[in-house]
Amino acid sequence: DARLRAAFDEGELHVRYQPQVDARGRVVGAEALMRWIDGTCDPVGPAEFIAIAEESGLIHLLGDWCLEAVCERLVAWEPHLGSAFRCSVNLSAAEFLHPDFVERVGDVIERTGAAPHRLRLEITEDTVLTDLEFAAERMNALRALGVEFSLDDFGTGYASLTYLRRLPVAEVKIDQSYVARFLEDPADAAIVRAIVDLCRSLDIRVVAEGVETRAQFDRLVEEGCDAFQGYLFGRASVPPADPRSLLERP
Ligand code: C2E
Ligand code: MG
Ligand code: MG
């Protein structure tokens, strides 16, 4: 879409960062989220403009730019970071599947000097659906660089438990729809518990997304989730000098 391309050229796209905390509320990571801020029109949400970018192929340009911005941010943050801190970047299927993708990630890491073990790539179940072998190979190649993988929106796609076994996934993100309902809905609570149990036995970390209330947080801690992300801790915001400042209520 020409408008999106123009917006990109005009510098109207920005990378914002949302904090992730551990069970004690300490910042242990962040997720990079793209924003289109043009000052005149209503803001277009990423779900909408990412879909446009995917259709037009612009996603590769935007994705490379986002990855580079995150790597530069990680370099700037490095003096403030604890050893386990990682920043997540979302990948569209087309980005992950592009023939040059592994090479491009390697290049951007080298060019920026970012520590590869600070980088985490988020993919969805649908991205790996068509060719599990290929996905596993590609993920292993990236893992060899030090990058780790997170399975986003877990429980909403064509989830298959074999994915968790066959893919080198370090982390699973329980979709926010479960987090929103599990306190009231016993079926959702059972699913959350099953995901946590399964991931624990496979040595995969569990992150809960969309945590908005203290009650949700407390229960998710009890259930054994490892990390938490949501408006309760902070929205996606302009990167501060110290990532601990991403917390809205420290
Ligand atoms: P996602 O990766 O699942 O990101 C989480 C979404 O949940 C974000 O929406 C975030 O702002 C929102 N969120 C976080 N905490 C809460 C909460 O407590 N309550 C509620 N209701 N929502 C919360 P956002 O930023 O609108 O992004 C939507 C989707 O767009 C993302 O979903 C991701 O799939 C995609 N996206 C965003 N940035 C990028 C990007 O740079 N590249 C690609 N390929 N996709 C992106
Ligand atoms: Mg995500
Ligand atoms: Mg998600």
Residue-wise pLDDT tens digits, 7-27: 999 999 999 999 999 999 999
| Ligand 1: residue whose CA is nearest its atom 19 | 210
Q: Residue 250 above 60 pLDDT?
A: no
Residue in 90, 151, 154 to alter for ligand 1 test, most ligand atoms within 8 A of Cβ: 90
The atom of ligand 1 lying closest to the CA of 232 is 18
The confidence score (pLDDT) of residue 44 equals 86
Q: Which residues line ligand 1 (CB under 6 A)?
A: 18, 33-34, 45-47, 50, 63, 66, 90-92, 122, 152-153, 176, 209-212, 229-231, 236
Indicate the helix (H) or strand (E) that contains 86.
Answer: strand 86-90
- Provide the whole-model pTM: 0.97
Q: Residue 157 above 90 pLDDT?
A: no
Q: Which ligand is nearest to the CA of 31?
A: 2
Which residue carries 């003096």 as its tokens? 79
Runs of H (alpha helix) within the chain = 2-9, 46-56, 59-77, 93-97, 101-112, 125-129, 132-145, 161-166, 176-181, 186-201, 214-223
Burial tier of 211 (Cβ tally within 10 Å: 0-12, 13-18, 19+)? buried
Top mean-pLDDT range of 3-7, 125-129, 148-152: 148-152
* Average pLDDT over every residue of 244-250: 85
**Taking a C-beta distance cutoff of 8 angstroms, is the pair 137, 128 a contact?**
no
Picking from 58, 64, 146, the residue whose alpha carbon sits closest to that of residue 111 is 64
Backbone angles phi, psi at 188, to 5 degrees: -65, -35
Please tell me the distance from the alpha carbon of residue 46 to that of residue 15, in angstroms, as a whole number: 11
Q: Which residues contact 184 (CB under 8 A, 6 or more apart)?
A: none
Picking from 142, 136, 96, 97, the residue whose alpha carbon sits closest to that of residue 119 is 142
